Structure 1
Amino acid sequence: MPSSLAKPNRPVFTDLDGLAAMAGEGDAFGVGGHHFARLPLALLRAIARRGTLDLHYVSWAGGLPLELLLEAGAVAEIDICFSSLDIFGLPPRFRRAAETGAVPVRDWTALAMIQALRAAQQNLPSLPFQLPEGSDMAARIPGARLAVDPITGDPVGAAPALRLDTVVLHAQRADASGNVQILGPRALDLAMVGAARRVLVTVEEIVPVGVLAAAGRQSVLTRNQVSAIACVPGGAWPASCLPFYVTDYAALAAAFAAPDTRLEAAFAPPETGVPQHLRQAAGVTAATVAALAAPAVHPEGGSPSVDEIMAVSLAGLLGDDSVASAGAVSPLANVAYRLAKATHAPDMIIATMSCGHLDIAPSPMLLSLIETLDGETAAAHAGGDDTYSTYYQAGAVTHEIVAAAQVDRLGRANTLELVKPGGGTVRLPGQGGMADVANMHRDYILYVPRHSPLSLVERVTVASSARGLLTPAERWPHGYRTGHAAVLTDLCVFRLDPATCELIVLSTMPGVTRERIVEATGFPVAFDPHCSIVPPPKPEALDMLRRRIDPLGLRRLEFVSARERGALIAEILAADRQAVDECIARQRMRAPDGARDRQDGSPP
C-alpha cells in the first residue's frame, strides 16, 4: 500500500498511552529527532512498556532510541546509517545485537536512504542517487541497484522506495487543530513523515490556532500530515527540546555508567518534571556567554598537547572560502572549525548538527549549551534531506573532517566493523553519510587520534568511505571541485598522492621520528621528498583554543581509551555544570525584570 495515502484533516488528540497503542507489531518504524535533540523518548518508553514486538527500525541514526527498543526486545530488523551515543561511545545493545547476529542490521548511505524515503513520499518505485565511488557501500544498501541514466548513459544508483508504517517524533508545539511546529534542525523528519502511513507526535504544549504563525524560524507539519498527538511536557528528556530545556548530560552519564542499567527505568521522568537548571540553561544567550571574561574552566598551561597540535593543524587547513560541516561525533573537527573562524578565517561557513544549523558563530563548546548557541547564531535551520541536495550533492561543502577507526594505504576509511585477531567482529558506529560526501566535498580530510598498526593498515576490513574520485579529470565531470586529500594522526600528516593513489607522509608531529612512524604503521611508509615538521601552535591560537573555543577540553575525548573515558566525562560534566550555572546567573542579571520570570526556559 502506498505510504502517502492522505490522512484525515484533523489528527486525533490523545494521551501518551493512547498514542503508544497506535504503533503496531511488525511495523516499519521510523524515529524522528537527531543525536540528543527532540527524541520522542517518553513515547518510546510507553511503546516498550506495552510489549510491542517485531518492529523494523528505520532511521538515519540508532543511538538512544534504538537502545531503548532493543532493551525491550521490540526490534526484529534494523536499517540505519549510523548508531552512536555521542560522547558516551558505542551503544552496547546495538553492538551486541550486531556482533552476535541476533538482529539483522542493514547499513545505508545517507543519500540512498533520503532518496528511498523521497521515492515513497512521491509514490515512485525508486529514485536515483550518486554512487559512493571507492567505498564498499553500494553493494550493502538494501535493495539498491546499479542503473544507467537514461539521458547520459552514466552509471547511477537506484534506491527502492522505503515505505514506513509508523513514524514517531517529538516537537515543540501543536495548535488546537493539529498543526505541529518543529523548531531547529529537522534531521530527516520531513522525509520520514512523507514516507509514513501513520505519524504519531508528542509535543511540549498545545496552543490556540493562530499562535504558530507568530513564530520565527520553524517548520510546520500541517494537520493532514499527522495522525495523532499527545501533549507530553518533557517528552524528549533527557534529550533536549529547545527552547524548553537542554540535554541532561548528567542523567545520560548516570544511565550509561553501568552496562546493565535499565534505560526504561533510568529515563522515567522526574516527578517534579524536567530539572529547573535545564530549563534555565535553555534561556542562556550567545551574548551572555560572550560577556564572560574567560570561561576557561579547564585551562591548560605549558607546552601544547597532541590534541591541541592536531586541532590547530586542522584549523590551518581552513580558510575564508571554506564551508565546513561538523559530523555526528567529531569534537576535534568541530573545535578546529570554530578555531579557524575565530582567528584567521572569519568568512568561512560552519554547519553543525549534521548541517541542521547553517552558518553558526564560533561560540565556545560548552557541552550543555552547544545546541542552544548554535541554534541562536545560525543564519538558517535545515533538515538533512534538503541540505544534501543544496550543499553536499551540489559540491558546495569544502570540508567534513571526520575520525576513522581504520585507514589503509589507499586512504580508505573503515567505521563499520573490525575483525578481532581471534575471530569475530567489533561493530563500529557506521559511516553516516561519509561514503557519499567523501567524493562530494572539495577536500577529503580524515584524522586518527591514536596512530598504530591496528589503525593504519594495509587494507581496511571494509571500506565504509573513500576518495574514489581523486583527480580533476575524474571529479570535474561529476561537478566536484578538487582539493586536498589527507590523513592527520597524532604522529604525522599523510597526503593521498594522486599519482600512486597511496598515502605518503607529508609532515611529522613535533618530536616524532620517522622510525616511530614506520613502526606504528601497518603498511610500508613512504615520505614526501620535502617532508617537514608540523609547526607548533602560535601562542594566540593556543590561547583562543584553550580559553574561548574549547574551555572544557571536549577534544580530549577522542584521545583516551574507553576505560579512561568515564573519568574524563565526569570531569567535563562537573566543569560544564559550573560554567552553565555561571551563565544562568549572568543571564538573570542581564535580563530585564519582565524577562527574568522567563528564565525557566519557557518561550516568551
Structure 2
Amino acid sequence: MDYLHQHPVKLDTMEGMLSQIQDGDTVAIGGFWFVRIPVALVDGLVKKGVKNLTVLTHCSGLALDQLIAAKLVKKVIFSFASMDLFGLSPFFRKAIENGEIEWEEWTALQMTQALEAGRQNVPYLPLKPPVGSGFHEETDYYKVMECPFTGETLGLMRGFQPDVALIHAQKADEKGNIQILGSQGMDRLLIGASKQTFVSVEEIVPEGKLDADPRGVIIPHFLINRICQVSGGAYPSSCLPYYIADYWQLQHAMQTAKMDQNYHQIQQPDGEVLGDRLGKLKRFTKIEIKQFESQLRQSASDSADEEEPFHMDELMACLLAKEVKDGVVSTVGSNTPLSMVAYLLAKKTHVPNVVLIPFTGLNDIPAYPITLSLAEVFAYQSSSSHWAIEDLWQWLYQKSLVSVEFGSTAQMDQHGRINNSLIRKAERIKVRLPGQAGLADVINFHHNSLFYITRQDQKRMVDVVDFVSGNRHFVTKDERESVHLADGVLKTVTNYGVFELDRTSRQLVLTHIHPGIDLEDVQANTGFALQVSPDLQETTPPSKEQLRLIRKEIDPFGFRKLEFMAGQERLEWIEQILQKEQKLLFGKTLFSLSI
C-alpha cells in the first residue's frame, strides 16, 4: 500500500474503501474494549477474505477475534486481548495456544511510543522501561540504552507505521473532517502513524456543522484518506451518544463462540433488524444519573439484606477503598467491577475529592450507582474532559502522578511479580491469558501498586510466575526517588487476607487475615512458604453504613460479584443484571439476549 494521502478526502462506499487493503497488509484496529470498535469495517474485511494480515490493536478483543475466527490473521500485536466482562477472547486464545498465528505482546507504553515514533516519522522514541518484567529484554522492536545526559537506563521503542488504520467515529463533515467523542482510545496515534486511514462514521453533516462539544476532538480532513457512512458501524460495541454497547448480543456471541461457531457472522445484522436494535439502545443514552438514582430510591425495599452478614466481595471492596487517598488521581482499568465499586465507595465516604478516570480518559467523574448497561453513559455525561490513552501516559503515568490503580492478576509469586500473559506447560503455552495492558509499566510508575485475587489458591499464589508480566522493581524510597518515582507500597488483597511486599526481604508478608480464616487455610492456598508479620492483625469487617452504601447506592445489582464467578455462572449473572436494569429503567424488558 502506497504511503499517499489523497486530497480532498474521498467519500466512498465501504466496499470501495476496503478494496484498497491487500493480502499481507498491516491493519491497525481503532476503538477499545466495547467502545467504538470498527465492527462493520472488520466484518467487511471478513467478507472480502483478505489474508495474512498483521493486526495491531491495543485492546479491541472483539475485532481481533472476528478476524482470527475467519482465518485472516498471520500475526497479532497487542497489549490486551479480551472480551472484557465475558472472559478471554476465545479464538485469539485458541489460535495462540495451538501455534496457528504469530504474536507479540507489547506493554501499553511501548505501543504508545512505537506509534508516536511512527507519527513523528522517526525510527524510535525513548521510554521509561518496564524494569523487572519479561518485556524488559532486547528484541527486534525494543532496545535498552544508557541516557547520554543522565546515565539512567532508558528503553527505546522502534517506530511503527501500519499500512492502514480502521477507525469508527461519530461524525464527519462533507469536507472530510471527522469528530470523535468520548474517550479516544489510541485512535489519534493510529491515524498519525498509519500510512492511510479509513474511517466509518454514523453520519455525514454539512461542512462546519460538527458538534461543538469541547470535550471531543476533530481530526482534520487532510489526515484522513477515505470515509464511508455506516449507521451502527460500531455495533455491537458502543458509539455514544448514538447507542450503548449491546451487552445482550455480546452475551449471545460468547455463548455461540463456546459452541465453536464462527460468531463473527452474527455481529452485523442488516436493515430493519439493526435499526430497531439501535433505536432501543439509544434510549439508554438518554438516561441521566439523577434520574437513575431517583428510580433506584423509588424501587428500594426495606428488605433485610442490610442486616445480612458481609460477603467476601464486600469485605474486599472495603479494604481496597481504604487505600484510596483524597485529592489525588486514581485510574480505573478494564474488567474490574470490584475495583470500580471500591473507588466509588471511597469517593462516597472518606475521599470526596479523589479524581477518578475510568474508560481510559473520561476524566474526574462523580460518585454514582454502578451499572452494566449505563456505565459508559454516566462517565461520558459527567466527565470534565475526554482524553486519549496516550494522554494518560504523557500527562500522568510516566510522571508518577497517579496514586493507585487496582488490578487483578492471574498469578502472583512470593516476590510480588505478576503474570497476566501466559501459563506454560513445559515449553508449550497451555493457557494464553489476555495480556498485561499497561500493568508492566504502571506497577512501578504509580505511587502504590494494589492488586487483588478473588480466589486465592496455589495456582494463583505461586512460588515463581510462569512469565513476569510486571514487577515492582523499584521498592525502597531511595530506589524510587533515584528514577523520579513517588514513594509507595505494593499490596495484594485476597479472599484470605492482605499481603504487603516487604522492602527489605522483597517478599510478600501476610499483614492482615480475614475474620474466620486460619493461618493453616492461608498456607494451604499459597504456593510458597508463608511469611507472616509479627504484628498480624484481623481485617476490620465492613460497617453497616458501608454495607448500606454498597448494596443500596453504589452496586444494587451486584456487579462486583462477577469477579468471584467464572464460565456459565458469570454469563447467567450478567443476564440477570441486564434484565433487572431494563425493568428498572423502562418497566419492561426491551429485548432478550439474541437478535
**Which TM-score band applies after superposition, normalised by the shorter structure?**
over 0.9
1:488 aligns with 2:493: yes
TM-score w.r.t. length of structure 1? 0.93
Cα distance, 1:24 vs structure 2: 2.0
Alignment partner for residue 283 of structure 2, among 263, 280, 294?
Answer: 280
Relative to 1, partners in 2 of residues 1:422 and 1:221: Cα closer, same or farther, differing over 3 Å? closer
Post-superposition Cα deviations, 1:187-212, rounded to whole Å, max 9, x if no partner, equal 11111111111100000000011112
Alignment partner for residue 522 of structure 1, among 506, 527, 541?
Answer: 527
State the SS of the aligned residue for 2:324: coil
Amino acid at match of 1:101: G
Structure-2 residue corresponding to 1:216 = 214
1:336 aligns with 2:342: yes
Structure-2 residue corresponding to 1:291 = 294
Alignment partner for residue 453 of structure 1, among 440, 454, 458?
Answer: 458
1:362 aligns with 2:360: no
Aligned residues: 582
Alignment partner for residue 194 of structure 2, among 193, 196, 199?
Answer: 196
Structure 1 distance, partners of 2:405, 2:111, is 20
1:390 aligns with 2:395: yes
Structure 2 distance, partners of 1:548, 1:575, is 15
Structure 2 distance, partners of 1:422, 1:247, is 39
1:121 aligns with 2:136: no
Cα distance, 1:264 vs structure 2: 2.7
Amino acid at match of 1:440: F
Alignment partner for residue 318 of structure 2, among 309, 312, 317?
Answer: 312
Structure 2 distance, partners of 1:145, 1:411, is 25
Post-superposition Cα deviations, 1:6-44, rounded to whole Å, max 9, x if no partner, equal 623321111221222122221111011111011110111
Structure-1 residue corresponding to 2:261 = 261
Q: Percent identity?
A: 33
Structure-2 residue corresponding to 1:75 = 73
Amino acid at match of 2:459: L
Amino acid at match of 1:250: W
* Aligned 1:150-549 pairs, distance under 5 A: 150-212=148-210, 214-258=212-256, 259=258, 260-272=260-272, 273=275, 274-294=277-297, 300-301=305-306, 302-354=308-360, 356-420=361-425, 424-549=429-554
Amino acid at match of 2:582: R
Amino acid at match of 2:316: M
Relative to 1, partners in 2 of residues 1:198 and 1:421: Cα closer, same or farther, differing over 3 Å? closer
Post-superposition Cα deviations, 1:540-593, rounded to whole Å, max 9, x if no partner, equal 1111111111122111111113242222222222223223425999xxxxxxxx
Note if contact 1:28-1:166 (Cα within 8 Å) is conserved in structure 2: yes
- Structure 2's unaligned 5+ residue stretches are 591-595
Structure 2 distance, partners of 1:296, 1:495, is 39
Amino acid at match of 2:391: D
State the SS of the aligned residue for 1:402: strand
Structure 2 distance, partners of 1:388, 1:424, is 31
**Structural RMSD (CA):** 2.0
Structure 2 distance, partners of 1:242, 1:503, is 43
Note if contact 2:38-2:168 (Cα within 8 Å) is conserved in structure 1: yes
Post-superposition Cα deviations, 1:307-329, rounded to whole Å, max 9, x if no partner, equal 11101110111121332111122
* Aligned 1:515-594 pairs, distance under 5 A: 515-581=520-586
Structure 2 distance, partners of 1:321, 1:412, is 29
Post-superposition Cα deviations, 1:32-83, rounded to whole Å, max 9, x if no partner, equal 1111011110111011101011110012124100000011111110110110
Cα distance, 1:268 vs structure 2: 2.4
State the SS of the aligned residue for 2:498: strand
Greater mean alpha carbon deviation, residues 187-196 or residues 566-575: 566-575
Structure 1 distance, partners of 2:12, 2:250, is 29
Cα distance, 1:288 vs structure 2: 1.5
Post-superposition Cα deviations, 1:121-142, rounded to whole Å, max 9, x if no partner, equal 1111100011112211122765
State the SS of the aligned residue for 1:128: strand
Relative to 1, partners in 2 of residues 1:334 and 1:20: Cα closer, same or farther, differing over 3 Å? same
Structure 1 distance, partners of 2:427, 2:98, is 15
1:13 aligns with 2:18: no
State the SS of the aligned residue for 1:77: strand
Relative to 1, partners in 2 of residues 1:451 and 1:235: Cα closer, same or farther, differing over 3 Å? same
